[in-house]
């Protein structure tokens, strides 16, 4: 029953993630057409500060709630006391975050973001901070109770409300008023958090009433809560603060390269708000496999079964590379058509093509980090990520004034390769995996050949244009790629069957 429940929850999470990511991409395309690249870049700066403030508002309480609820219910005790204490903790940090962001909005806008037009959006975002923190507690409660469907209801309702309010606000605001448009998008975010909180409260009250009975209350809940939440909070502060500094340095570096303030915001918005949603979208289709295999690694580590751990890690890395190499080749082949179809911009397509080849490293690094966490190496991953953020920040400061957006792309490549190299090296030490460059060559060659063949076929038939052209190109590419992979012998006999056995 436990395995079946895990599978059902994973399928629900994957389906919801695909739905929300698809809806989010559509929403992002709509925003870019309404606000323009410069407007997207300006709101990206607001969102960076909002993310940092939200991290402070949550301060590790979601995972702490999940952990404590699991411990209490597993011991036959009442989790309601956990929720009460965690809600008090969240209310304090959420309210404090809101007061700080509202009170210092003008200073943040002028001194950090360099644009007073962001002040109104920051104040609007501050209204949602108490609901972000308290909603995180309720989401953590449902996760700890293994009721992922109810937590997903909060997430889905948040996204739907966010998009609906933002679109209604933007429809009533003139396109020339970038300040009000940023505030309108921020209003959508705040409304989404409030609506999600109300949904989760209703679900929690219903669930709590059903669980009334003679359950005991655990001891030392406050101390246990702080012992889990505070170290997580400190780590999250450092990581998100460095990411925020990076995001603030990018427009500054572009201005120092000679670009105007408007052009700098447009370049930043193009990469962060248009290119990245496209190249990270396919990863959601692969998340379910990684979520299913990582718990298996943890279980096998407890049993001391190193051979099975190495086999699972090898298969997961190999499958990730097979998937990501295909997506990278397809995006590189159809980058121009994607940019024109989604954003009516060939320039966006140019940057999609430049970043497409980074996707295998990016996706494999993500999977490797997940496996390290599953094997108890989360502290190592944390250190690597913080070091990576420090180096990336320094490189952004040094390189962007000289190479502009191409410098930022160079930093992204250096950062991902550095992070993945250290993570893979650590995974190799603790699992004895056999990952090697030569073993990946047949798959890489197959992906490149499939991309080239697809490109030639589409050119001979009039080229890929619009949504129909992208779909037809995808069908041709996948067919050719599968044939080439089977012919190349990239997968040994029985490997695919073992992979499916692991998923089952």
User: Residue 365 has which token pair?
Assistant: 């690094």
SS3 state at 172: coil
pLDDT at 1 over 50: no
Q: Give me the pLDDT at residue 409, please.
A: 92
User: Residue 334 has which token pair?
Assistant: 């159809």
The answer to whether the CB of 77 falls within 8 A of the CB of 95 is: no
Distance between CA atoms of residues 485 and 322, nearest Å: 9
Confidence of residue 109 (pLDDT cuts 50, 70, 90): very high
pLDDT at 189 over 90: yes
The residues with which 189 forms a beta bridge, in sequence order, are: none
Q: Give me the pLDDT at residue 366, please.
A: 84
pLDDT at 395 over 70: yes
Q: Considering the chain, what is the average pLDDT of its residues? A: 82
Taking only the tens place, the pLDDT of each residue in 67-78 is 788 777 766 677
pTM of the complete model: 0.76
Confidence of residue 495 (pLDDT cuts 50, 70, 90): low
Residue whose structure tokens are 């496996």: 371
More confident residue, 154 or 191: 191
The answer to whether the CB of 294 falls within 8 A of the CB of 374 is: yes
Distance between CA atoms of residues 311 and 426, nearest Å: 16
User: Residue 468 has which token pair?
Assistant: 């129909």
Taking only the tens place, the pLDDT of each residue in 30-43 is 888 888 888 888 88
pLDDT over 70 percentage in the chain: 83
Confidence of residue 136 (pLDDT cuts 50, 70, 90): very high
pLDDT at 503 over 50: no
Q: Give me the pLDDT at residue 88, please.
A: 94
In sign, the C-alpha dihedral spanning 341, 347, 348, 349 is positive
More confident residue, 144 or 269: 269
pLDDT at 218 over 60: no
């Amino acid at each position: 029953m436990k395995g079946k429940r895990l599978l059902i929850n994973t399928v629900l999470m994957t389906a919801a993630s695909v739905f929300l990511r698809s809806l989010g991409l559509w929403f992002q395309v709509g925003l870019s057409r309404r606000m323009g690249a410069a407007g997207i870049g300006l709101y990206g700066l607001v969102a960076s500060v909002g993310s940092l403030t939200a991290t402070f508002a949550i301060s590790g309480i979601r995972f702490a709630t999940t952990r404590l609820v699991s411990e209490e219910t597993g011991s036959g005790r009442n989790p309601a006391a956990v929720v009460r204490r965690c809600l008090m903790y969240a209310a304090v940090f959420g309210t404090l975050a809101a007061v700080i962001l509202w009170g210092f909005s003008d200073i943040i806008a002028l001194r950090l973001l360099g644009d007073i037009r962001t002040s109104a959006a920051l104040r609007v975002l501050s209204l949602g901070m108490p609901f972000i923190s308290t909603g995180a507690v309720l989401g953590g409660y449902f996760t700890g109770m293994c009721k992922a469907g109810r937590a997903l209801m909060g997430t889905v309702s948040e996204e739907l409300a966010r998009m609906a309010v933002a679109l209604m606000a933007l429809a009533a605001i003139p396109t020339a008023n970038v300040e009000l448009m940023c505030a309108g998008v921020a209003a959508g975010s705040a409304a989404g958090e409030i609506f999600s909180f109300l949904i989760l409260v209703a679900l929690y009250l219903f669930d709590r009433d059903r669980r009334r009975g003679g359950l005991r209350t655990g001891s030392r809940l406050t101390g246990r809560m702080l012992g889990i939440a505070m170290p997580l909070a400190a780590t999250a502060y450092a990581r998100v603060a460095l990411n925020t500094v990076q995001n603030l340095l990018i427009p500054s570096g572009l201005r120092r390269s000679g670009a105007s303030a408007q052009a700098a915001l447009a370049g930043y918005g193009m990469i962060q708000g248009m290119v990245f949603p496209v190249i990270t979208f396919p990863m959601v289709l692969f998340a379910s496999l990684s979520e299913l295999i990582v718990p298996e690694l943890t279980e096998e580590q407890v049993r001391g079964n190193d051979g099975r751990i190495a086999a699972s890690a090898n298969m997961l890395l190999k499958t990730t590379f097979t998937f990501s190499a295909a997506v990278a080749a397809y995006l590189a082949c159809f980058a121009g058509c994607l940019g024109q179809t989604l954003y009516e911009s060939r320039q966006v397509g140019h940057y999609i093509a430049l970043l497409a080849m980074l996707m295998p490293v990016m996706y494999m690094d993500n999977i490797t980090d997940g496996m390290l966490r599953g094997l108890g190496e989360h502290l190592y991953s944390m250190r690597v990520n913080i070091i990576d953020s420090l180096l990336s920040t320094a490189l952004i400061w040094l390189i962007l004034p000289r190479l502009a957006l191409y410098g930022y792309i160079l930093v992204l490549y250096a950062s991902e390769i550095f992070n993945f190299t250290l993570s893979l090296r650590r995974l190799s030490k603790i699992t004895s995996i056999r990952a090697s460059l030569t073993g990946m060559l047949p798959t890489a060659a197959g992906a490149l050949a499939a991309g080239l063949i697809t490109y030639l076929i589409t050119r001979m038939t009039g080229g890929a244009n619009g949504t129909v052209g992208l779909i037809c190109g995808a069908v041709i590419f996948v067919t050719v790629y599968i044939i080439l992979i089977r012919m190349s012998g990239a997968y040994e006999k029985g490997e695919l069957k073992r992979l499916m056995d692991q998923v089952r």
